[in-house]
């Protein structure tokens, strides 16, 4: 295959978003000269501009090119959509935030996710795929094909100039590249997605935010920080978001318009769509919440059993695995509901509504792929960045009402243990509840519909997979910075997509906040920060991690500890003494 850095590419166009009649249209344009309101320069040389502004002056201060471009899009909207022909596949990588393994229908949920389920029905469902248990480290590994360096510490320190991001790799492979959503790997100039390979980027550069206004500061109990939000090289302010703004919808709007532009260019495209939902704060639209009213009245203990029953029926869980009634960090429902039963139910109703909204928006994107005539040659992937989250910023406080913009709350450990059915633990932990992710993949020209794979995979495998699909090699030298690159840790999934058996990883490794694990074949050694001891599990017989075999196989434990320590040294993990 040709070297990645030798692949030539025409200068990529960006996307200009102009506002008219209170609505945003994303329009193809190399420069932003058509925008009626010019952005102001900031001290660091970047610009501040809103693509969702409802400023009355903008509505009236129109220009000829704006009307021409709007007319063009009205014509496109009313005519059959067709992309320019190209052979290499397009790639759409969709990731949700803090969603548990059982939170979508094809993995056992009662939440309405027909579009995600359709991806599984028309594609491939993985049963043993892994993330890194935490937002920042998962995103860094997904983007670079590498385990987190710097011991997983920081944000911008996780992606260096010795690594290619997916944006950089695919751009230099001749792809148009786009990103819509949560970045969380650096928010300063030089670290943003627009600076690291994405031709078109819109979203949240830092951690999770208010869904109705991303620049609204977090409450004081969460630090009071105003999250950084932007479009390409611009930053947004709190007044730049209209009253009906909702991040899940906005990220989808941007994805759709970017895909239309990139598909029309004749190049294959790579688009990265990391939604913020269903991460706290629990924010959802009233109509979506209403669909789940009363659905969770029986509580999380019953819900976990209901989902388990469905998973057994679907063949996702072995009937011989022992499944705990709830994680030992969660209270029984009968005890927890005495605080405020209606509020406890509402937490899960809103959480379900957030996932439902994601699914609705994925349906919008799938419809566009069909209209463009590119669905068959587009790989669509859906996964989560870590397991369901048990964190409770602000505590268990019924005064924080789930749903509306003005409040900030969470699902807590009880509902999270149901989300993570049938596993133990949560986000940040290296037991299966923290690191196991759903993964569905649809690519009609290559993946057989309705298939399932038990082959083990990891998010570090995405970048080498996509380069394999693009028929280029990973370079020894960064094509933009000229620095020597770190060899990839991941390996291609393309044989799995093609229904073949690939050579598995020798070992897989994890670490976050003293929690740690190593998997070797079906053996997994895990350290829990509460137990403060290594635990050994045979995942073939006991993937629910109910039976610790460490005392029965002490030599294996020592061997796996050495493997983990060698990896920890390579990635600069620093453990507390």
pLDDT at 86: 64
What is the structure's pLDDT at 156?
Answer: 83
Q: What sign results for the dihedral spanned by CA atoms 384, 388, 284, 49?
A: negative
Q: Which CATH superfamily is domain 4-497 in?
A: Alkaline Phosphatase, subunit A (3.40.720.10)
Question: Looking at the DSSP assignment, which residues form a beta bridge with residue 511?
Answer: 516
Handedness of CA 255, 256, 257, 261 (dihedral sign): positive
- For the chain, the domains span 4-497, 514-570
pLDDT score at 577 = 54
Q: Which residues have a Cβ under 8 Å from the Cβ of 325 and sit 6 or more positions away? A: 301, 304, 305
pLDDT given for residue 87 in this prediction:
87
CA dihedral 330, 432, 124, 198 (to 10 degrees): 90
- Tell me whether domains 4-497 and 514-570 share a fold: no
Which residue shows structure tokens 């950089």?
Answer: 168
- Residue 483: other Cβ atoms inside 10 A: 12
Enter the pTM of the model.
0.87
Instruction: List per-block mean pLDDT (blocks of 10 residues) for the chain, which spans 577 residues.
Output: 38 38 32 33 37 33 37 39 68 98 98 98 98 97 97 90 98 97 93 96 95 96 95 95 97 98 97 98 98 98 98 98 96 96 98 98 98 98 98 96 98 98 98 98 98 98 98 96 97 98 97 97 97 97 98 98 97 84
217: left (phi over 0), alpha (psi -120 to 50) or beta: beta
247, β-bridge pairs = none
Alpha-carbon span 476 to 485, nearest angstrom: 5
- List the CATH code of the domain at 514-570: 3.30.1120.10
Structure tokens at 203: 């979203």
Residue 403, sorted as left (phi over 0), alpha (psi -120 to 50) or beta, turns out to be left
Where helices occur in 282-406 by DSSP H, the ranges are 286-290, 299-314, 333-336, 341-372
Q: Coil, strand, or helix at residue 542?
A: helix
CA dist 413 and 428 (Å) reads 13
């Amino acid at each position: 295959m040709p070297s990645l850095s030798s692949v030539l590419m025409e200068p990529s166009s960006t996307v200009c978003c102009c506002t008219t009649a209170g609505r945003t249209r994303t329009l193809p344009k190399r420069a932003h000269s058509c925008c009626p309101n010019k952005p102001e320069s900031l001290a660091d040389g970047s610009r501040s501009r809103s693509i969702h502004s409802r400023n009355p002056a903008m509505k009236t201060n129109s220009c000829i090119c704006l009307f021409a471009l709007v007319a063009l899009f009205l014509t496109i909207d009313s005519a059959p959509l067709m992309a320019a022909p190209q052979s290499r596949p397009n790639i759409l990588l969709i990731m949700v935030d803090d969603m548990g393994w059982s939170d979508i229908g094809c993995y056992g949920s009662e939440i309405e996710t027909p579009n995600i389920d359709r991806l599984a029905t028309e594609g491939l469902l993985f049963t043993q795929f892994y993330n890194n248990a935490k937002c920042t480290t998962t995103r860094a590994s997904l983007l670079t094909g590498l385990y987190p360096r710097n011991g997983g510490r920081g944000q911008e320190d996780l992606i260096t100039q010795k690594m290619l991001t997916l944006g950089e790799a695919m751009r230099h492979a001749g792809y148009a590249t786009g990103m819509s959503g949560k970045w969380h790997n650096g928010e300063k100039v030089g670290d943003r997605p627009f600076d690291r390979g994405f031709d078109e980027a819109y979203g949240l550069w830092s951690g999770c935010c208010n869904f109705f206004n991303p620049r609204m500061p977090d409450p004081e109990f969460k630090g009071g920080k105003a999250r950084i939000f932007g479009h390409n090289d611009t930053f947004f302010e709190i007044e730049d978001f209209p009253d009906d703004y909702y991040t899940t919808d906005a990220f989808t709007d941007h994805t759709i318009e970017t895909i239309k532009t990139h598909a029309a260019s004749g190049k294959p495209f790579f688009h990265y769509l990391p939604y913020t939902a269903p991460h706290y704060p629990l924010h959802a639209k009233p109509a979506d919440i209403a669909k789940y009213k009363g659905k969770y009245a029986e509580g999380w203990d019953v819900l976990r059993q209901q989902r388990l029953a469905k998973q057994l029926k679907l063949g996702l869980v072995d009937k011989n695995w022992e499944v705990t009634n709830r994680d030992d960090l969660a209270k029984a429902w009968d005890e927890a509901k005495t605080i405020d039963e209606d509020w406890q139910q509402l937490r899960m109703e809103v959480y379900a509504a957030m996932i439902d909204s994601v699914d609705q928006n994925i349906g919008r994107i799938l419809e566009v792929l069909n209209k463009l005539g590119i669905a068959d040659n587009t790989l669509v992937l859906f996964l989560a960045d870590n397991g369901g989250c048990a964190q409770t910023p602000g505590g268990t406080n019924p005064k924080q009402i789930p749903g509306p913009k003005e409040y900030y709350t969470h699902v807590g450990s009880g509902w999270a243990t149901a989300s993570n059915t049938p596993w133990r633990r949560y986000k940040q932990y290296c037991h299966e509840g923290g690191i196991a992710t759903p993964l569905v993949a649809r690519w009609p020209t290559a993946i057989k519909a309705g298939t399932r794979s038990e082959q083990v995979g990891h998010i570090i495998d995405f970048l080498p997979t996509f380069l394999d699909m693009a028929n280029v090699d990973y370079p020894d030298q960064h094509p933009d910075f000229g620095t020597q690159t770190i060899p990839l840790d991941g390996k291609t999934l393309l044989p799995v997509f093609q229904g073949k058996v690939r050579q598995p990883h020798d070992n897989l490794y994890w670490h976050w906040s003293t929690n740690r694990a190593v998997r070797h074949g079906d053996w997994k050694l895990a350290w829990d920060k509460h137990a403060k001891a290594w635990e050994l599990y045979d995942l073939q017989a006991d993937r629910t991690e109910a039976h610790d075999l460490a005392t029965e196989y002490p030599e294996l434990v020592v061997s796996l500890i050495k493997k983990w320590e060698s990896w920890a040294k390579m990635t600069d993990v620093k453990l507390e003494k």
